[in-house]
Structure 1
């Protein structure tokens, strides 16, 4: 009996030791992990990186939970709620995150950690993501490129209307809710590194010295050189910087000169071999713009269409998912995606390759933003297309013209219709009278 008691005591003592050891190990692991948790105010910005809030910002909870680790990575949790717009009760369907700076690298889906039930667009009930979680390869990110899918936008666009957006973190108002800022290795050094990163980010979002931004109203002045139905031509140029803000639409304003070379090669190339490296370095000295020809067409229904030619297309992915996409500046300051039709395609691997795109514009002095996926760069690039309305001339160039059916304005058509009905009734009545007289 004593032996059994002694054996039991030994077992309990061993278990107690194991339990105590496991607790110590858990604490040491947690301490070694060194994680800290912050509540950080966030906003959802428009993808053109202008600082303008996205329409979907109202569906995003105002704070995110960010867990950062000593290995330089972080884990981020965001929350979405329903929102109403355009008389539709919309919901987030999915959130994908770009792996490296804004709109670069691969996309990965955020994990859904909680859901909610709500009335769907058909009046029934569906389940939607509420909180979503994803890992990120940096701590204290300033901006993260994401792609969101919303059911209401899909219904409006008649298909997949996933859109890029920017998650903006306000670290100056962040609150530490778990962990400690103390005992941080090389604390001063890390703070200095963060300040340098912040400084770099600020430089990226700052217009270059000497840049003169245009005003929104500059693009909506009445020119009226294309009043008559027909085709016209004019000069266009490309810009990597947003003419309204002086910063790029896809990040990297600090190194905008590299992107500017590529944009010039896309709109007005001077090399005939379709070489991407050459196109990216063939800017004019001093950064002057190069110009190319584009086409305008005023149709019988009063609409105005632009056709622009985009070069180096042998290096560009053309697909439903990657575009190219065209957005046109509206009078409210938003860039609205429009339907772009390929009207002429000339793809040759070792010569200049181009595709002509036709799309509707609100006026002659339009500003368009193009997005296209450059395969050698493994990322989408966004740039702007500007026009010189002083160069508008009548006549088409070597671009296809939109063929129209015979068009009769509604007020003329209505009048003719009434006259036909009245005339028809008169003829029937007259024929009936003649017929009666004949019978008599």
Structure 2
């Protein structure tokens, strides 16, 4: 793909991704789905709080309407809200304008098919061909021109869905929420308020420029301080489009995606709700998580990095829980994408049912120290395939003698080879990394 990566079309606003791209995406999508269904396409559109999101919203809307689509505007809403409403409202497709956890200067366009999943690559390829002028799309005329609909009720339905998913009360529970000045700002507090929680919110005053700035799931220290200073029972931090969640326990300790998978996986298994008794983490999950799964007699199947790969594995095998260390957790029995607020509610379900604080629920997991080294190389494919490098990885694994691991992978976007070692002690990580880094010397840039 030339424009669309694993998480949509991303770039610096009006540099890598500009309004002409957005207009053309709208033009093709509006025409494509209209031609497929034989009538005006119905498209639902949401955005995060970046200043440029309003610009891209206008460009996309113009393109969609010009191709004959009716556009239902959700305005500011989490990415999973777009996926939910695409299915719930029987729309032909959904579009989300966001660059997730990236700085406000970036933005992106995510396309979702009618089933709420990331759009099929063959359709994305056709979009790219249209952007590059390889195909033509007719303009709608007369009554065929589309219209826009202010669709706030769609966001309200998403909020109601989140509330209804929780069959418990949070009366008397003190909950901290960090909305990252992003899409969660309009949704998270109403959900927890409705469940009776004593909610203490930070970073929920977006101004177009402060999304993800020293806040949210990528800057968890703000929530850690908040939980400790306010004496809260638990805290949840989201990223810019609220499809990720990182938690903080009552002592101020970080509970990342790995620990969330453990807590929820063990609970669901106990109650016979973990399909095939299997959790789906990625290869980047902590070695300590795998050890804890073994001790809890939970099966796991690892995938390549990326929520797209996690969900593909879950869907193929019928698994019901998977996710990433970054806090992108998918509960496959109720959703097809990560949802930070839903993840918060599932954690609260476990805490309420087990009558345990989050610190006690995570205690069995002993996370291993990790040391990640990025090595800049001239040819990452050649480096990854070189026999001396493969031999060095094997040597490093043998050096750790079953008490850790070494993971070597090429960056998907940069000329880097990433060398990650995990072991009971940081010094062992360094020594294992050094074995592989030495073998990469001939390939260094």
The bucket for the TM-score relative to the shorter chain is under 0.3
Give the structure with higher Rg (CA): 1
Q: TM-score, normalised by structure 2?
A: 0.27
Greater strand fraction, Structure 1 or Structure 2: 1
Greater helix fraction, Structure 1 or Structure 2: 2
Q: TM-score, normalised by structure 1?
A: 0.27
